[in-house]
Structure 1
Amino acid sequence: MSRPQVKQERQSQAVHDAAIRAREDLPLALIDGTMRTIGIDEIPDGVLVVDAEGRIVAVNSVIGNLFGYRDDELIGEAVELLVPERFGNHKKIRRRFQVRPHEKPMGRVQEIFGRHKEGHEIPVDMWLRPMGADGTMVCFVRDISDHVRLSDEIRKASYLDVVTGTRNRRAFNEDLDRILKTMAPESNGTGVAIFDIDHFKDINDSLGHHSGDRLLMEFCERLGEILRPDMRLYRIGGDEFALILPDCPDHVTAQEFVNTAIRFIRRPFMIEGHRIGIGCSAGIVHAPTDGKTAQDLVSNADLALYEAKSIRGTSSVFTPHLRAAVEDRFSLVSQLRAAVEEGQFELHYQPQVDIGSGAIAGAEALLRWRHPVRGLLQPGQFIEVLTNNEVSIDVGRWTLFEACQQAASWQVKADRPVRVAVNLFPWQVRTRRFFDDVREAVANAGLGAHLLELELTENTIIDSSEDFIKILTQVREQGVGVALDDFGTGFASLNSLTRFPIDTIKIDRSFVRDVGSGKGNWPILRMMPKLARDLGMTTVAEGVETAEDAMMIQHFGFDTGQGYYWGKPVPADEFVAMLQNGGSDKPSGEPREIKPVRISALEEIVKRRFPMYG
């Protein structure tokens, strides 16, 4: 035998001897610190023994099953045979560990990947331990494929919405954040739209949550029909969805697509046999124009959505003035809270006059805010913000109790019953205690229930549920009147007049303005008193400012009038003086002079301008 052959033979014999020793007598002390020994095949995990040169000198049967090799295919081979090629520095790190194991350059326990004989990677946990002082080490290997697969499934599920199957808020935030961080300065940018389904609560309340969930699924499926491959839809809340529009140059491009989507959604859905028509509103932002972080973009998109929802069924693009408006609104909300605590609100009363007799039949209680810095504020300066905030619950409750107390005092100062009309806030009527509040306010004041009238706006009843209709019916059964305020300005249909328990229709001032000069909406004003009488209701015309207006609404058949002609809203003590003066707002009690109006002449004007109504 030549010298090289002898050397090779000796090396092979040494590897064989080491393998025999490792297989027959692996110290258990490597595991639990005892001096007992066990056979290598008795260990449930895979075991590799690697010598100082990195050659495999012993394996157990688990290793062969895990990596797809026979034992004789592994013994004597470099351990890098079982390492994926992408870990090119493995040999260097392994040698460093063998020389200085206590510095733990590879760590004692690691989650890494091994390479199967067929080439695919296997996720494994590996535990390294030196075996003597000559650099030999033992590797314990455990297959964690099931664990990794389960972890991947859990991770994927954590990014999906369970109802619609679309990606969720967490995915949206991370995806948007990643897009913004990788967006090149010269790129077109990215559009983001936040959608909100209009009146979705009504679907859940009337048809149940199962139908609501079905509608959400079909909403996503329908939008999916028009989305480009690079667009992604996310469900980020109950009925809120987000859409990322990559490669979007500006707001106009984003809004064109969003408006197309909104029109597409308007087509009726068939949900469990029900034909359902819905709309949606959307707020739109563009990056980097409207923000460079996901948080800024979402915040600004929410502001644009808020503006769109004030109209519904449309989209709105973020502009900087929206941010300033919101900051002002938040400041105003804080001041409103303080106003409640400090009793800064007061009520003024505007007379409602019986058209036939000219006597004051009642008054509408109107809210005023005596601001400590700005003085007495009219409703137009704060009522919109108050209406859309839960602070209105406390303000509305105070208004109800205060107005009832005032009305009770009127009854002993007037020679006839005088009712009071109180406006209700949407937040107020949806509280559980609303019905009890009405009963308590009337009882505490000692006021007859028939002398209280509750005024609801069209938009309030549109957003109401069947439960609210039942409560309103119970209130009416107590003798309290219910009026539909500002009729003709909101979204209510004529069907609302029969669906809701209403006693009185109040025609908005926009229909009455200048009716005495022939410029008012005569067709509507002619129709409404007759319609109300047919439905068993009474009518109130708001915004009567001249004697001519008063004469015309009397001619059309209205029951009650309200407006500056009879009196502006005044504090409670001044209204009492009006009652005692026989309905006049003059201190002397001198009656108003109403000049006769030639009705026929006015009708002639209308006939000439609107022949179809002659």
Structure 2
Amino acid sequence: MSSMMPPEGNPSTDEQIIFQQEYQRVCQRTDRLIALAMCLQWPAVVLAAFFISPRTWNGNVGVLHPHITAAIWLGGLITVLPVLLSYLHPGKRSTRHAIAACQMLMSALIIHITGGRIESHFHVFGSLAFLAFYLDWQIIITATVVTLLDHLLMGLYAPELIFGSSIGSEWRLLEHVLWVVFCDAFLITSCIQSLRGLREAAHRDAEQKVLIHHAYHDALTGMGNRLLAHQELTTLLETPSSRTGFALLAIDLDRFKEVNDSFGHKVGDDLLIQVGERLRPLIRRKDTLVRMGGDEFVVILENCPDEAEAAAIAGRILESVNMPFYIGSHVVGVGASIGICLYPTGAGDVSELFHHADLALYKVKERGRNDYFFFDEEMRAEVMRQLQFEDRVRLAVHDGLFTVHYQPIVNSEGTLIGFEALLRWTDPVLGVVPPNAFIPVAERCGLIVPLGKWVLEQACLEAAGWQSSAGGGVKISVNVSPVQLTSPDFVTIVTETLANTGLRPELLDLELTESVLVEHGGRSAEAMQQLRALGVRLSIDDFGTGYSSLSYLRDLPVHRLKIDRSFVRDIVHSEAGRALIESMIEMGRTLKLQVLAEGVETAEQFEILRAAGCDEIQGFITSKAIPAAQAQGMVDHRRLLSSGQRAVAAKSAGEKEVVAA
């Protein structure tokens, strides 16, 4: 095996190569066939001389007839040369001409020792027909010239025979020449037709070769494709020698999407071509390099029984890909993540090999990319656990096993002003599953959009009821995933939900993380502007844990900052923690934003935050997240919590719970 098959050439060039190869095989085969025939003709000539010569002996005992001597020595000399040439220089043009000449000399020898019998002349026609197997009309011409010269030297074409009184002999000799010429014309025509057929076959083979090349090779880079990789791995698995081990490297370029988005697909294609050019010299000649599609490559390393050699090649690949790529006027920097699966320890068939290499590749990306990782059995077990958990999440979405609970939000005086809608899941098998466990899975599996839409509808429906019973209404906060915000129909979903539930837009607060604001830039900003135009309020959730920046806070249409619970935890006993949270509250005031503190659990924390000017409070100090019915009761009372009540509420909240981002 090799890194790739021979590159695709010009079809006409391929046709010529195939024709020459096939014609060479025809000539070599004919060389040996005629050499073998001459080895059989030699003893036949000797026997003919013995039985057909007028006198077997010349009258002297022990002395052979001259015809027998000629048959032995001349026949031997004529036979030895073709035999040597057919094995020393088979298929060469000079060999063909020499063999043709010797074959016709053998015919002349037979005619001579038989006394010119008419039936022996047919050996000439048979020899010419035999030489036609070369499919070379020039060989026929050479054979004819040798025949005519030989007959002339033997005196068969002497002038007295032509102009003498023996008209019958003259006519037989002229007839012989005419038959030779006729035979030549027939054989030359046959050779030309056979050559034409051979060229047509070569043309078909060349076209088939091009089709096969396209089927097994990538059109952009010229290297092998997924089909070739599958074929090579199948061959390795079926080869006993592969039991010593081989390795499969799954390579994925890091930041390739950013290159395509920033510089365009033309630069991206040129980058893929350059990556292929860099990878080829890094692997051995017997190894295979293919492009699986997109920015994914695969390297198959033969005779690689341990991790050391695979790791060495993977390291060279990383080092090479990490060097800058110069594409036109652009300098492009990418990295690579490599997942490695070893055989026979890693898998039993081709699909498992690919799957396990992909699992190792996924592990590299989880750990930060630009590295390589080997598949092992623990990874298999972990993946199986993840797949089973994903199945439980899918089933819960399908069967409607999720519920929405509501955690109260109060102002600095302890008055209820709203709730945050929090998703909860109690699985029949797994029990209570925290949101930080199932939300990432729902995002990865593409379930977060329908699930988020359902939560939004449920929360708005409940808040619409509170709107009536609470007079002025109670705000409802709903977390929005980055996947939801950047989906093209999210604004439409929010608009339709408000219209269907009758909730006033100003009572809906959508909570966004800092990361989505920075990473998704323009798309997020456009959606946020449209939502603000509807009258919907926007909050930055978990403020301080991401990319806190005055620039995006100034430019984006947000109304509220939600300080993450991690900053609230130490404000009672840490002066630095208290100073930090006070500066964050001051930042919010400067930007004319409301500030909410999450995770407030004690009266001391509440008082510190209120003294610092925090507008809103959320946490166990008021209540844990509660079902909709209990939330309705809290709305009905609109209770104002005193310091003592807040302490009791915090104590009764029990264990801490994790709130989904």
- Give me the TM-score of the superposition, normalised by structure 1: 0.68
Point out the more displaced range, 215-224 or 146-155.
215-224
Alpha-carbon displacement from aligned partner over 1:561-614 (angstroms, at most 9, x marks no partner): 32222221111121222333445799xx9832499xxxxxxxxxxxxxxxxxxx
Structure 2 vs 1, CA of residues 215 and 513 (structure 1 numbering), >3 Å: closer, same or farther?
A: farther
Count of aligned residue pairs for this structure pair: 495
Uncovered stretches (5+) of structure 1, i.e. residues with no partner:
21-49, 77-123, 128-138, 596-614
Local SS of the residue matching 1:545: coil
Q: Which amino acid aligns with 2:260?
A: N
Alpha-carbon displacement from aligned partner over 1:79-101 (angstroms, at most 9, x marks no partner): xxxxxxxxxxxxxxxxxxxxxxx
Q: 1:591 aligns with which of 628, 645, 653?
A: 645
User: Which residue is 2:656 aligned to?
Assistant: none
* Distance across 2 between alignment mates of 1:9 and 1:495: 114
5 Å-filtered alignment, 1:501-520, equals: 502-518=558-574
User: Which residue is 1:297 aligned to?
Assistant: 353
| 1:422 lines up with 2:503 in the alignment | no
Contact 2:572 2:578 in 1 (8 A): no
User: Which residue is 1:40 aligned to?
Assistant: none
Q: Which amino acid aligns with 1:591?
A: Q
* Distance across 1 between alignment mates of 2:326 and 2:263: 12
User: Which residue is 1:541 aligned to?
Assistant: 597
Contact 1:457 1:484 in 2 (8 A): yes
Displacement after TM superposition at 1:534 (Å): 4.5
| 1:379 lines up with 2:435 in the alignment | yes
Displacement after TM superposition at 1:386 (Å): 1.5
Q: 1:171 aligns with which of 228, 236, 251?
A: 228
* Distance across 2 between alignment mates of 1:393 and 1:340: 11
Local SS of the residue matching 1:412: helix
* Distance across 1 between alignment mates of 2:363 and 2:588: 35
Displacement after TM superposition at 1:402 (Å): 1.1
| 1:64 lines up with 2:136 in the alignment | yes
* Distance across 2 between alignment mates of 1:561 and 1:466: 31
The structure with the greater share of residues assigned to helix is: 2
Contact 1:56 1:75 in 2 (8 A): no
5 Å-filtered alignment, 1:235-254, equals: 235-251=291-307, 254=310
Point out the more displaced range, 327-336 or 220-229.
220-229
Contact 2:279 2:317 in 1 (8 A): yes
User: Which residue is 1:6 aligned to?
Assistant: 114
| Runs of 4 or more above 6 Å deviation | 124-127, 491-495
Q: 2:374 aligns with which of 317, 321, 334?
A: 317
Q: 1:405 aligns with which of 461, 477, 490?
A: 461
User: Which residue is 2:607 aligned to?
Assistant: 551
* Distance across 1 between alignment mates of 2:549 and 2:393: 33
* Distance across 1 between alignment mates of 2:510 and 2:116: 105
Displacement after TM superposition at 1:287 (Å): 2.1
User: Which residue is 1:346 aligned to?
Assistant: 403
Structure 2 vs 1, CA of residues 158 and 141 (structure 1 numbering), >3 Å: closer, same or farther?
A: closer
Uncovered stretches (5+) of structure 2, i.e. residues with no partner:
1-47, 53-109, 146-191, 650-661
Q: 2:414 aligns with which of 358, 366, 370?
A: 358
User: Which residue is 1:145 aligned to?
Assistant: 202
Q: Which amino acid aligns with 2:114?
A: V
Q: Which amino acid aligns with 2:233?
A: L
Contact 1:348 1:571 in 2 (8 A): yes
User: Which residue is 2:81 aligned to?
Assistant: none
Contact 1:16 1:57 in 2 (8 A): no
Displacement after TM superposition at 1:510 (Å): 3.0
Q: Which amino acid aligns with 1:317?
A: F
Displacement after TM superposition at 1:398 (Å): 0.8
Q: Which amino acid aligns with 1:576?
A: Q
- Give me the TM-score of the superposition, normalised by structure 2: 0.64
Displacement after TM superposition at 1:286 (Å): 2.0
Q: 1:560 aligns with which of 592, 601, 616?
A: 616
User: Which residue is 2:364 aligned to?
Assistant: 308
Displacement after TM superposition at 1:380 (Å): 3.9
User: Which residue is 1:610 aligned to?
Assistant: none
Structure 2 vs 1, CA of residues 406 and 212 (structure 1 numbering), >3 Å: closer, same or farther?
A: farther
* Distance across 1 between alignment mates of 2:274 and 2:588: 41
Displacement after TM superposition at 1:227 (Å): 5.4
Displacement after TM superposition at 1:405 (Å): 1.0
Contact 2:413 2:640 in 1 (8 A): no
Local SS of the residue matching 1:167: coil
* Distance across 2 between alignment mates of 1:499 and 1:301: 44
5 Å-filtered alignment, 1:113-512, equals: 141-182=198-239, 184=241, 187=244, 189-221=245-277, 223=279, 232-251=288-307, 254-255=310-311, 258=314, 261-262=317-318, 265-266=321-322, 269=325, 273=329, 276-315=332-371, 316-354=373-411, 356-414=412-470, 416-460=472-516, 464=520, 466-489=522-545, 497=553, 502-512=558-568
Displacement after TM superposition at 1:396 (Å): 1.4
Local SS of the residue matching 2:562: strand
Structure 2 vs 1, CA of residues 530 and 152 (structure 1 numbering), >3 Å: closer, same or farther?
A: farther
User: Which residue is 2:86 aligned to?
Assistant: none
Contact 2:254 2:369 in 1 (8 A): yes
Contact 1:584 1:592 in 2 (8 A): no
Displacement after TM superposition at 1:348 (Å): 0.8
The structure with the greater share of residues assigned to strand is: 1
Higher relative contact order (CA 8 A, sep 6+): 2
Displacement after TM superposition at 1:440 (Å): 0.6
Contact 2:251 2:339 in 1 (8 A): yes
Local SS of the residue matching 2:114: helix
